[in-house]
Structure 1
Amino acid sequence: MNLSKNFILKNATIIDVESEIIFKGAIEVDHGTIKTIFSEDSDLPPEIESVDVEGKYVIPGLIDMHCHIKEDFAVQFVASGVTTVRNTAGNVFQLKKLIESPIDAPTPRVYSADRMIDGSPGLWGPTSYGNFVTDDPMEGRKEVRRQKDTGAKFIKIYGWISKEVMEAVVSEADKFGLEVSCDLIHASQVNALDAAKVGVKWFEHASGFIQTIYPDWYPSAEQAEWDKIDWEHPDKDKIKELCMQMIKYDLYLCPTLVIFDQINLWPDYWHPANAVAETFERAGGLKDFWVTTAEEYGDALKKQLGTQSQFIKDIAKTYADLGGTVVAGTDTPGGVWTLPGMGLHRELELFVEIGFTEMEALQAATIKAANSIKIKDIGTIKEGNIADMIILNKNPLEDIQHTKDIDKIIKGGRIYTQEEILKEIPSREYLDREQEKFLAEFEKIMSTNS
């Protein structure tokens, strides 16, 4: 929409995720920030342009706390109301354009790790721009220093890392005030409790918990180890006992329920019928990736990840019930049909399905998410905060599925329709050129630094 930099949303029904209240009022936006929140009966300044949102519900912009973003599908996040993402491994240099985009750009603000640190031979192959493979603790420390210099906001370690390298990475990261995140889904040498004891702060996918409860199990273990576990009816006493130990370390859990659920449901996966989802039906890009993944690895993924779905749900709910911090993320675009942006709405639905209230689900993708990464000016509708908001047609506190019913999105003070944002999807030709340029520049940087 073509509005001035200073405008008022009037007759808004505002959902305050911090105070857990819903009220009628008006929101003045001035040059990208929320300047004033007026009560329902307040007299609004007549000289300021206004937008009437009578009958609409306004919530903070959503935060996807676990994804792997690329410019290819960045705009679909914002078109879905996801205005901030936490990128859990990739390449900071490759994301430079997104990271440095203007506050009101139709792409999400990016809080990113750099390439993941894994053990040999590397689940995703040898060292590349997206992963670093080592069994040498000193090399692990050196990589942390390199990532700190690139601007990484946190460090990501992966499942084949050795305990010695993990300890070195956490120790080095701590020197620079960088938290360490782990994905231990495929781990066989370390488990969640091991990682917590050495100072790992973030547990993606609630990973490593099952290995702690069942030390002889891991995804590539013999079938006999799988058969010892009742996957449909997890042992809740053992889960609670472990969560009570883990919570002592004040850890953060990002369970990414949706990636497990989509794989578990495949081929009858969740797929909403809306304008954002339709963009992924086009030939090429992520559709081809998901179809190929399902065709080549669907059965293996269904066993290795889909089978864990109920366990991850029980771990997430138990940890939250004990007072632990659980935030919402998706692992987009991993697995099958984890739709960038829209996948987070499914994550919120799954939160509610496992027993979170609608307000608690919203908080997991707004205020709790923002607080967990110590960003104070997003995640709530509050004076002085960045003006990231979603205008919804229906009340999400009555039904969490209403978060998908989006009227407009406000990103950094600029009001967009979904259609306006989706027009910004880049062409395949542009993306191919950018990738070639990035690979050449990254190779040059690494050869210079070696």
Structure 2
Amino acid sequence: MGVLITNGTIIDVETGNTYLAAIEIEGTRIKRMIHGDEPLPNGLETLDAEGKFIIPGLIDMHCHIHDRYAPHFVASGVTTVRNTAGNVMLLHDLIHAADDAQTPRIYASDRMIDGLPGQWGETSYGNFVTDDPEEARREVRRQAAVGAKFVKLYGWITQDVMEAAIDEAKHHGLEVAIDLINSKDVTALDAIKAGVTWIEHVSGMAQEIYPGWSPLVDQEPWSFIDWYNHDQDKINALCQEMLARDVKLCPTMVLFDQAMKFPDIWSPQNKVVESVEKMDSFMQEWKRNVAYLDTIKERTAVVGGLTKQMAKTYHDMGGTVVAGTDTPALLFTYPGMALHRELEIFVEIGLSELEALQAATIRAARSIGLDHIGILDEGKMADLVILKGNPLEDINWTREIEAIVKGGRVFNQEVILACAPGETEVNARMQEFMEKWDSVESR
């Protein structure tokens, strides 16, 4: 049986226009947008959205998803995520879930490629550590074969390994993203000139603007830096380099904002946040990070001001800037909900509400070559969020969710959150995966 949503105000995220219409859904797709006095079909599951506003399902363009909290994204209206480093074998069931699953559709990279000795330790299922360009090429080929949608490079990578990985990825039609937050030698400009497609977190920009600085060095000699007011000419020049090569930017401003504002963090009291706060694994990890708060603020989160300045400048120049969160990194980056704070920050730095919405819908989808999501139209995937107010008037309305439709199936937040697996189930799945991974690695 199909679904009919009546009396809602549709937000066209491409133009910013709003209009009253009914949405007829057949299977996983939008069959018709029914306007005015056109007759409505009979015999469908009907949802009355009178007084409500309807937007496409949101897209988190930088996160690290896991079985335990995957439903929390959909409960937050985030129906698609770009997973920036992980393991496609570990995520197999999530990646291949049905369109109407209570977990988000996933556009995933495989394990990140890092330099020795490896920021997350030696080579494992989640990272590949090498200083050998040929080993990096073989790893890219392996990732292409197992279905990675793009390649993720990490901060201790050497210049020659980075160049080899980028070159190999191009042979396989894969984009390359890079995170240079903790880079010792390679800067964002080095990566841009080498041909990366994505700069994550605006990382490596501080190393370019302030030669010799990195989070790993003594910070006292760099105390002169005003982290909230950088040389605009230098920022313009970097953005021009990116624009000339069509490099895309995912700033993840919420990641730094939450850490810098702690303990006065953004923490809306709603069903999703309450559910996350009951998850011991999350709360324990974030509380452990609080113990290192001074170091996090001084060496990592301090770049948040630069991140905002770069994101606004690049957007104003016409560059591709999309919304992501890096969930569950650092401090209280709530799965799904953190994206709503990212949209608020986009507005705070000077984008319009429409532009913020676009960064998590149509622009996000188009940035990774997907045209069936990110917009409400006939023939598109029936991923949508029914809101209690108009986010074009106040972006905060994106988190006031009445219902979510994922792949044509109507959900409320309680139903989705109730399906989240428990810690015991997740641990058993992880053990099963590790046994499979060990057997693959031993061949």
Which of 405, 424, 432 is the aligned partner of 2:427?
Answer: 432
Question: Residues of 1 paired with 2:27 and 2:341: CA distance?
Answer: 32
The corresponding residue for 2:137 is 141
Instruction: List structure 1 runs of 4+ shifted beyond 3 angstroms.
Output: 46-49
Is 1:46 aligned to residue 18 of structure 2? no
Which of 219, 226, 230 is the aligned partner of 1:223?
Answer: 219
AA aligned to 1:252 is K
- Aligned pairs (5 A) from 1:79-90: 79-90=75-86
Which of 328, 331, 354 is the aligned partner of 1:336?
Answer: 331
How far 1:209 moved relative to its partner?
1.2
Helix, strand or coil for the counterpart of 1:27? strand
Question: Residues of 1 paired with 2:207 and 2:320: CA distance?
Answer: 21
- Aligned pairs (5 A) from 1:182-261: 182-261=178-257
Question: Residues of 1 paired with 2:367 and 2:228: CA distance?
Answer: 31
Question: Residues of 2 paired with 1:203 and 1:428: CA distance?
Answer: 34
Does structure 2 retain, via aligned residues, the 8 Å contact 1:25–1:37? yes
Helix, strand or coil for the counterpart of 1:84? strand
- Aligned pairs (5 A) from 1:276-315: 276-282=272-278, 284-295=280-291, 297-315=292-310
Question: Residues of 2 paired with 1:112 and 1:101: CA distance?
Answer: 14
Question: Residues of 2 paired with 1:49 and 1:232: CA distance?
Answer: 52
How far 1:225 moved relative to its partner?
4.2
Which is further off, 13-22 or 158-167?
13-22
Does structure 2 retain, via aligned residues, the 8 Å contact 1:71–1:98? yes
Does structure 1 retain, via aligned residues, the 8 Å contact 2:219–2:299? no
The corresponding residue for 1:12 is 8
How far 1:19 moved relative to its partner?
2.4
Does structure 2 retain, via aligned residues, the 8 Å contact 1:141–1:169? yes
How far 1:36 moved relative to its partner?
0.5
Question: Residues of 2 paired with 1:232 and 1:23: CA distance?
Answer: 40
Helix, strand or coil for the counterpart of 1:325? coil
- Aligned pairs (5 A) from 1:113-132: 113-132=109-128
Is 1:105 aligned to residue 101 of structure 2? yes
Question: Normalised by the size of structure 2, how large is the TM-score?
Answer: 0.98
How far 1:147 moved relative to its partner?
0.7
Question: Normalised by the size of structure 1, how large is the TM-score?
Answer: 0.97
For each residue in 1:129-172, what CA deviation from the matched residue of structure 2 results, as whole angstroms up to 9, or x when unmatched?
11010000000000001111111000000000000000000010
Is 1:351 aligned to residue 346 of structure 2? yes
Does structure 2 retain, via aligned residues, the 8 Å contact 1:217–1:225? no
Helix, strand or coil for the counterpart of 1:155? strand
Question: Residues of 2 paired with 1:222 and 1:300: CA distance?
Answer: 11
**Alpha carbon RMSD of aligned pairs, Å?**
1.0
Does structure 2 retain, via aligned residues, the 8 Å contact 1:213–1:242? no
How far 1:180 moved relative to its partner?
0.4
Q: How many residues align?
A: 443
Is 1:365 aligned to residue 357 of structure 2? no
How far 1:82 moved relative to its partner?
0.2
The corresponding residue for 2:267 is 271
Does structure 2 retain, via aligned residues, the 8 Å contact 1:216–1:225? no
For each residue in 1:240-265, what CA deviation from the matched residue of structure 2 results, as whole angstroms up to 9, or x when unmatched?
12212221111100000000000101
Question: Residues of 2 paired with 1:432 and 1:306: CA distance?
Answer: 31
Question: Residues of 2 paired with 1:322 and 1:39: CA distance?
Answer: 37
Identical columns (%): 52
Segments of structure 2 that go 5 or more residues without pairing to the other structure are none
Which of 311, 318, 322 is the aligned partner of 1:323?
Answer: 318
Does structure 2 retain, via aligned residues, the 8 Å contact 1:85–1:111? yes
Residues 83 and 283 of structure 1: is their aligned pair in 2 closer, same or farther, counting only changes over 3 Å? closer
